[in-house]
């Protein structure tokens, strides 16, 4: 239990240093019950401010609803050289396009993804499942009951997003995705009469009922047997946006095909 602001701040710095994932204020309240969320948040922001003013090799960022240390993006090239992993673990164009479709149209089925891209995406989706960037999210109530896919918490972490709503607008992302793919995503969603440009730009089609979702669990997870691939070990990826990345994000073993 911290007895003053200095001790609380030092303790928070220590926890952030050894944590393997973003730490939420709620989880920190369990460690510092007498300090309360306001005091914890104030000290976290003080840590962030001090690191920003220091302009050093790492900083504190908010991601996936929590706080974590990340390396400063301008030193990314040095980190890559240190780990001798230059050029590895990056998303291929096919994987980037497929992931973008899932991110902007989730929940979505593999046939719907393939229809938008114009090619069979089953292999790419399997790779994204292995990387834990997407997950199974129940089945769609149509003939054949195909699986639905959503992005994961790991997706948010790897790309430096605090929530799916932080995705760039599709109009801004057209240069990366290509004009034709961006236009496809801006058009009507599969199985829907019309999706507004505003709704697509905000990131996600959140209404599961509109997609005919049949939930596979309380968290939208698929049955355990079908989710095995989604739970397999996956390495982190370089961010496809210009943002800070964690030290883990440069340790990928295999490029996404």
- What does the pLDDT profile of the chain (257 residues) look like in tens digits? 556 889 999 999 999 998 878 999 999 999 998 888 999 999 999 999 999 999 899 999 988 889 999 998 888 888 877 766 555 567 788 888 899 999 999 999 999 999 988 888 988 999 999 989 999 999 999 998 999 999 999 999 888 888 988 888 776 666 656 556 656 665 655 555 443 334 444 444 444 444 455 544 433 333 333 333 333 333 333 333 333 333 343 334 343 44
pTM listed for this prediction: 0.47
CATH class of 5-71: mainly alpha
3-state secondary structure labels for all residues of the chain = CCCCHHHHHHHHHHHHHHCCCCECHHHHHHHCCCCHHHHHHHHHHHHHHHHHHHCCCEEEEEECCEEEEEECHHHHHHHHHHHCCCCCCCECHHHHHHHHHHHHHCCEEHHHHHHHHCCCCHHHHHHHHHCCCEEEEEEECCCCCCEEEEECHHHHHHCCCCCHHHCCCHHHHHHHHCHHHHHHHHCCCCCCCCCCHHHHHCCCCCCHHHHCEECCCCCCCCCHHHHCCCCCCCCCCCCCCCCCECHHHHCCCCCEC
Q: Would you list the domain boundaries of the chain?
A: 5-71, 93-242
Select 93-242's CATH number: 1.10.10.10, 3.30.565.10, 1.10.10.60, 1.20.1250.20: 1.10.10.10
Q: Judge if 5-71 and 93-242 fold alike in CATH terms.
A: yes
């Amino acid at each position: 239990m911290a007895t003053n602001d200095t001790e609380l701040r030092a303790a928070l710095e220590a926890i952030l240093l050894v944590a393997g994932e973003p730490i939420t204020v709620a989880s920190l309240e369990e460690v510092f019950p007498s300090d309360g969320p306001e005091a914890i948040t104030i000290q976290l922001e003080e840590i962030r401010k001090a690191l920003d003013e220091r302009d050093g090799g790492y900083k504190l960022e908010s991601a996936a609803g929590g706080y974590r240390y990340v390396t400063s993006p301008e030193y990314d090239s040095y980190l890559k050289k240190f780990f001798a992993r230059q050029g590895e673990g990056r998303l291929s164009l096919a994987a980037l396009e497929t992931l973008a479709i899932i991110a902007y149209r989730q929940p979505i089925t593999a046939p719907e993804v393939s229809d938008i891209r114009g090619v069979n995406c089953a292999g790419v989706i399997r790779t994204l499942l292995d990387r834990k960037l997407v997950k199974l999210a129940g089945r769609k109530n149509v003939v054949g009951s195909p699986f639905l896919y959503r992005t994961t918490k790991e997706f948010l972490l790897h790309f430096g997003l605090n929530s799916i709503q932080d995705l760039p607008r599709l109009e801004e992302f057209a240069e990366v995705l290509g004009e034709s793919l961006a236009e496809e995503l801006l058009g009507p969603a599969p199985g829907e009469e019309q999706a507004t440009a505003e709704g697509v730009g905000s990131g996600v089609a959140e209404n599961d009922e509109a997609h005919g979702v049949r939930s596979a669990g309380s968290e939208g997870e698929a049955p355990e047997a079908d989710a095995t691939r989604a739970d397999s070990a996956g390495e982190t990826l370089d961010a496809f946006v210009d943002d800070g990345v964690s030290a883990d994000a440069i340790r990928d073993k295999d490029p996404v095909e």
